[in-house]
Structure 1
Amino acid sequence: MRCKGDDMSERMIALGKSGDFFGPLYPYIIDDDVTDVDYNGREVWITDSDNCRHVCKDLILSQDFVDQFTGRVANGVSKAFNRQNPVLEAETASLRITIVHESVCLTGRSICIRKSLPYVRLHARQMIAEGYCKEEVLDLLLSCVADHKNIVVVGEPGAGKTELCKFLSGYIPEDERVITIEDTTEWHYPSMHPDHDCLELRINRQMDYTQAIKTCLRLNPKWIMLSETRSKEVVYLMECLSTGVHGMTTLHTSDVRKIPDRMLNMAGNERDAGRMENDIYSFIDVGILVRRRGWKDSMERYQISRYIDQVCFFSREDGKNQVQIVVEDGKVISDAWGERKGTYYEAKVAMG
């Protein structure tokens, strides 16, 4: 049985393929080197795959186009957009569109178009060469995936949390079933890894995150990829990981040491706080903080770079919850690793 939401989504996807739909923005929509298109009510800003951000001085959006585009998006998803409904969201297979009404956005109507394309933007050699992370940090993270560690990637919006998860998930063996859970398509796991055993679960009004996580346990997963942990579903995520299923997820916080508190706040009163905290330290193995920084280059173009700032290990041993920082400010802490080599597991054993 088809639901109304599915029809809206397909209609939006069909409209999104039309050049008339996006008007003067269309060249940027079809350019795979463009990752974000932002309109602040006055100017259009473009972010490209080289992390360069610049204003399009020769592109001025008329109020007529802004109104028409908003109307097309609203019609595509059958949603109202006015003072009473000031935020409009829609998506296609590769785009996420957010429009904010001028009644709450005092600089004028805001349009944000973010792309999520079915390929991985991060590559090992490039990550090292461009300062995203040091080679030993990359080796550490890949060892964590090989050792089936549960990973939480944190950072501010736009830091590149999902992109790092997409990169790491590419090192999961093809015979280990992966189930992705998302409300908007970002992982594109089956498209990127067509030979891997994978299922995609889509969050909608008929299936929320909590139900999706519960359903996963009946689908024989080896890994669960939760695009973002936002609320009380964190309780069921912990229960899922406690069964031996492995996982990756993202959440918003500014320090890996804040991950347990952030998860506790999301859980609310759904579970005893002490027990929940112990579960977090028991079943979350690795925390990673991704940051981004910006500056102007010699041509006055705004550049953005992303990098791994922190990596930590969580553990619960002898009744004590512990967090071990092994990477700080992008650098491996020598006191934590010493001269030891080998896999993450060997290093953790060596650290005691």
Structure 2
Amino acid sequence: MTPDEPATLHALRRRQVLRSALAAAAPLALPAAPAGAAGANKPLVVGGLPVTCNLTLPIACQARIAVNAKTGAGPSPFAYAKFSGWPEVKESLMTGRIPAAYMLAPLVMDLVDSRIPLKIVSLGHRSGAVIMVRTDSPARSFRDLRGKSIAIPSRFAVDYLFLRKMLARAGMSPKDITLIEMAPPDMPAALYARAVDAYCTGEPFGAAAQRAGYARPLAMTRDEWRNYICCVLTVREDLIQSNPALVQDLVNHIQAAGDWLDKGPANRDKAAQIASSRTYFGQDPKIIKFVMDNPEDRVTYGDLRLIRAEFDELMQLSVEAKTLKRPVAYERYVDERFYKNIKPVPIPL
């Protein structure tokens, strides 16, 4: 921006650059409008983003569809709805437009602290966040990002807490960089267009740019924060009260999907094909497969335990980051009964 250029004009030009770069830089489908909330004779709608941290959700939905088709039980009792960013998921869950979604764990804590009736009932993944820079970037450590712009999905995202951890190890803080909140699907294009110097998010939006050849990981949670969790299955309390059996069925399938995903590369290959369809992520299956293979534990799904100490750590880190105003009691935002009563279900995919 030149000294004479108004900030609004600069912002407009930046958006134009991002739009023009999006098709070339990030071959990921734009999110479809989400479906409405569950009603009579309609499936339970579960919202999610097209990120591999949410991959257990499409697998659970597709498995339930397959079981019902085989047994003649009719349509699946739950279905996936794709959102483009966390603000949209948050608003839809708050207003009851959807009764369930994969959500950012610290955001659930904050909403519950604001008396929004929500409960976390399952994890969705382990690891899966990356911090990406351009391949031609001189940055080899986080000290090299001083004064640079870094995109994050949300200040409530655990990706942001991961970034804070890495900055702290380098003797830095968020004051040493410029933070930009951005929907994950827009991040590869922003890096390609040099609108940001780096971005921190869940996959496959790191892999998309890496596979295209113009970005490389500066850090991965698999190397730096092994028990990292971010996206959690969250349901409204009125759904728990009105239909606990349906919530249990959903949790059973999410947990089974996690086990199935970690059983081997053949299942992960199938998962990439399923999730890439327009029904779910609407992405190039080669990009999702790249996440599954490079390396194979870039995201993991087999350990979806609800562990109080891990949530307490996230809460404390969020309080330190000032994304939470105060600590929130574990029992206020987690309902363990469904995890404790998991029953094995088939994943016939």
TM-score (structure 1 length as normaliser)? 0.30
User: Structure 1 or 2: larger strand share?
Assistant: 1
Greater RCO between the two (CA within 8 Å, min separation 6)? 2
User: Structure 1 or 2: larger helix share?
Assistant: 2
